Structure 1
Amino acid sequence: MVIRHGTAALSRIGRRHPFLFGVAMSAIKTSASDFMAQTVVERREQVDLRRNLIFCTWGLLYLGGVQYFIYVHLFARRWFPDAMAFAAKSWRAKLADTAGQRTVLKQVFLDQFVHHPFILFPAFYQVKEFIEGGTPSEGWRKFRQNQVEDLKLTWSVWIPVFLLNFSFSPLWMRVPVVAIVSFGFTTALSCLRGAPEQ
């Protein structure tokens, strides 16, 4: 009963304030992911607050803000306006709608093979270097050095997730779905890239 009321309340907030809901959820989730990586996975006795600030800032500004603009305004409203109608269809209708299936594939392709490699990861390394006191050129060098490994991890998680997200999520749930799945992904990314790199 309590869970049902809590879920209904979150749904109401998400529908009324989708941007703020997505930004807040992304910031909290990303900070919590790094906290879990440091305390549970790496078993650190003290949390590296600088590192946690990197992930909290990343969650707030990029995962919540920029991705809201990409997934809601660009993908769903401007570039693929029929996407939400496809997401609302029944399974049977989705299976018969080949144009809608192609739209999902186009969204996944743009997200995973354009957005992530050319925008998301370069931006992540710039935020990380800024907070660590490095330079933009150092951020770019680290991005290029880690690009193949980062993208392999990304594609193994996000291609299947976005196939489902773009097929079934209502507009207001797109960023929160990313935030929920991203908890585990960000924990792995924090373990892989959270510590300062030489």
Structure 2
Amino acid sequence: MRLRVFEAYRAAYDKSPYAVAFATCFVKGGASDTLAQFKIERAESWDVLRTVKFASFSGLQTGCIQHFFYNVVFTRAFGPQRTMLVAVRKTLAECLGYIPFVYMPNYFMLKSVFNGGSSLSEGLGDYVAEISGIMPNRSFASRVWLLCRSAGPLC
């Protein structure tokens, strides 16, 4: 039975990768936020709107956009091989390109709008202000993180 579920999921993903990626990450994001509200924050009541916002971001960003970058762009740019060289290239592209120029700006822009900000550009301004203080201070820890993260695409 379990194998059939995975086979059906894979077939659906092969047919409609963006829809399945969105749905999967929407559910995971919603479950994560709900768990955080009740178990970590000890909320008295469920903030459904917050959960929908977080789930929507998860579906869009970690579902659709990351599918596009990790499974389309990076594969076309660096190849589908599971080698150390490809893993290092993908990791460098992720750390030096995707995260600072796609993921984090999207996060800050949507966070601003979801939390009552006036515009996406307000969130982007917040990101630029924050990153300006971080980038010049490249620390030993960030270099270690980059090295450790290199193993990720091999998994």
- By the TM > 0.5 criterion, same fold? yes
The 8 Å contact of residues 34 and 55 in structure 1, kept in 2 or not, is answered as: yes
Deviations 1:105-125 (CA, angstroms, capped at 9, x unpaired)? 010111123211222112111
Deviations 1:47-74 (CA, angstroms, capped at 9, x unpaired)? 2233223212211222212112111221
Q: Which amino acid aligns with 1:29?
A: K
Deviations 1:126-168 (CA, angstroms, capped at 9, x unpaired)? 11111222134542354344885xxx89x969x54x633x224
Distance 1:112 1:167 in 2: 16
Distance 1:21 1:131 in 2: 24
Distance 1:33 1:129, change over 3 A: same
Give ranges in structure 2 of 5+ residues lacking alignment. 135-140
Q: CA shift at 1:20, angstroms?
A: 1.8
Secondary structure at 1:59 match in 2: helix
Distance 1:38 1:57, change over 3 A: same
Distance 1:48 1:7 in 2: 32
Q: Which amino acid aligns with 1:42?
A: E
The root-mean-square deviation of aligned C-alpha atoms, in Å, is 2.8
Question: What pairs with 1:130-169 in structure 2 (closer than 5 Å)?
Answer: 130-135=113-118, 136-143=120-127, 144-145=129-130, 160=149, 163-164=151-152, 166-168=153-155
Match of 1:121 in 2: 104
Secondary structure at 1:57 match in 2: helix
> Scaled by the length of structure 2, what TM-score is found?
0.76
Q: Which amino acid aligns with 2:55?
A: C
Give ranges in structure 1 of 5+ residues lacking alignment. 88-99, 169-198
Identity of aligned residues (%): 22
Q: Which runs of 4+ in 1 moved over 4 A?
A: none
Quick check: 1:4 aligned with 2:3? yes
Secondary structure at 1:35 match in 2: helix
Q: CA shift at 1:76, angstroms?
A: 0.7
**Which residue of the other structure, out of 86, 91, 101, is the alignment partner of 1:103?**
86
Match of 2:137 in 1: none
